[in-house]
Amino acid sequence: MPVAAPLDPTIRGPESRVFENLLAQKIVGQHEAIAAVADLFQLYEAGLAAPGRPVGNLLFLGPTGSGKTRVVEAAAEILFGDSRAVIKVDCAEFQHSHEIAKLVGSPPGYLGHRETHPLITQEALARYHTERVKLSLLLFDEIEKASDALWQLLLGILDKATLTLGDNRRVDLSDSLIFLTSNLGSAEIDGMIQKRLGFAPRNEATSVLDRKIESAAVEAARRKFSPEFMNRIDKVVVFRPLLPEQLERILDLELGVVQHRLLQTARTRCTFHLDSQARGFLLREGTDLRYGARHLKRAIDRHLVCPLANLIASEQVAQSDLVSVEYDERGGRLAFAREPGKPLMRRSASDGEAATLFAASLAGFPVAAAPAAASCAPRDRRSLPESTRARRRDR
C-alpha cells in the first residue's frame, strides 16, 4: 500500500501570502487583524467559503485611531488599487428607522422613490470587481449606534448573505467580507491607558494591559449585543492601543502619503526632506496614546501639510524643488527652506529621504518613478509675482 504523504495545512497559497505581507506593510502592529483578514481571503481564494453566507463576518473592537477602519481600506487598496473600494455604512447615520431608506431605497409608490438610491445594491457590490477578484468589502462603522431596523437588516446579511431592497430586489452578499467596528468599552480602555502611562516595566505592563483591554472590549460587546448577533460573527478582533515605536512607523507611512500627494496632485509638484529632529518634533506633538494615530495625523497636517500648502500657494516653492524641513528649537516649530539646485531626483538620497521614499513605496506608491513623471520643466516665470521672481533670481 502506498504511504500517505504528510501535508502542511499551515502554508498559505501564494496570493493570500502576498496579500498578508502587503497588509502587514500598510498596517503597523494589529497582527491578529491582519491574520484574520488574510484567513478569510484564503478561504475565498480556495473557493471554500460556505454558500449562502458572507465569506466572513469580522467584528473589530478597540480604541479610537488604532487602525480598525484602516485595515479595511488597506485591504481595498491591495485588492482593487483604491482605498475607497469599500461600501461604508456609518451606522450613526441610520439611527432612526425611517433613514433605512437611504440604505435600501424606499418602496415604489413612496414619495421620492425614484430619488432614493440605495447604498447597497448588486451593482455597487460589483463596482470594483476585477477579472481576478470578485470579492466585495462592506464596512459597518459604529454598529452600537444602529437602530433596531438596521439591526434586523444586519442580522439577515450576516446570516443569509441577502438583503431585500425597498423595491423588492434581492441583493446577494455571499461574495462579501463584512467588517463591523465598534468603540464599545472605549471609555474603560481610555482609563486603563491613562493609568498605564508612566508605569514600568514596559513589556510586562503592555501584555497585562493588552489582556485587560481585550476582555473589557469583549465584555462590553457581549453586554450590548444580543447572543444571536455575536453568534453570527466569525471572529472578534480587539485592536491594541498603538505604542510610541509603532506611532514612529506610522509617521513614516504618513510622510510617504504626504510625499505622494505632493508628487501626484499638488499644484506644484515637489519633494520634501525631514531631518531627524523634525521627525522627533512631529512625534512629540502627535503622540497622545488615547487618540492613537489620529492625533499624529493631525500634528502632521498642522505642522507640515498646512505650511507646505502655504509655500505652494504663495509660490515660494517651484516645480521639482526639494523643501528641507528642520526643527527650529527657539521657535518651537518646523522651519522650511528650499535647497537650491538640488531636486531630489538629481542627488543621492540621505537616510531621512530614503526613509520617506521607502515609506511611500510601502504605502504602495510608485515614488521612484514619480519625480521624473512630474515634469521638471521650468515654469512660466512671467506668471509669477515680481517678489517671487526676485527670490528665484537669488537662488
CA gap 254, 191 in Å, rounded: 28
295 vs 303, which CB is nearer to Mg ion?
A: 295
Does 88 engage in binding with ligand ATP (CB under 6 A)? no
| Pick from 380, 277, 257, 384: nearest CA to 325 | 277
Per-residue contact flags (x/-) with ligand ATP for residues 17 to 46, judged by CB under 6 A: ----------xxxx----------------
Do you find a cis peptide bond into 378, omega within 30 degrees of 0?
no
| Pick from 146, 341, 333: nearest CA to 229 | 146
- All three cell numbers of 9: 495545512
Helix (H) or strand (E) holding 322: strand 322-328
Does 65 engage in binding with ligand ATP (CB under 6 A)? yes
Minimum distance from CB of 245 to Mg ion (Å)? 22
Does 54 engage in binding with ligand ATP (CB under 6 A)? no
Which amino acid type is present at position 280?
G
The count of chain residues that interact with ligand ATP, using the rule CB under 6 A, is 19
Half-sphere exposure of 249 (CA within 13 A, CB side): 12
Binding test (CB under 6 A) with ligand ATP, winner from 89, 293, 325, 359: 293
CB 45 within 8 A of CB 15: yes
Binding test (CB under 5 A) with Mg ion, winner from 25, 42, 69, 121: 69
Minimum distance from CB of 248 to ligand ATP (Å)? 11
CA gap 319, 25 in Å, rounded: 30
Does 157 engage in binding with ligand ATP (CB under 6 A)? no
Which amino acid type is present at position 299?
A
Stretch binding ligand ATP (CB under 6 A), from 42-50, 51-59, 60-68, 94-102 = 60-68
Does 287 engage in binding with ligand ATP (CB under 6 A)? no
Stretch binding Mg ion (CB under 5 A), from 41-49, 66-74, 229-237, 310-318 = 66-74
Strand partners, 61: 182, 238
Does 334 engage in binding with ligand ATP (CB under 6 A)? no
Which positions touch ligand ATP (CB under 6 A)?
27-30, 64-70, 181, 183, 250, 253, 292-294, 297
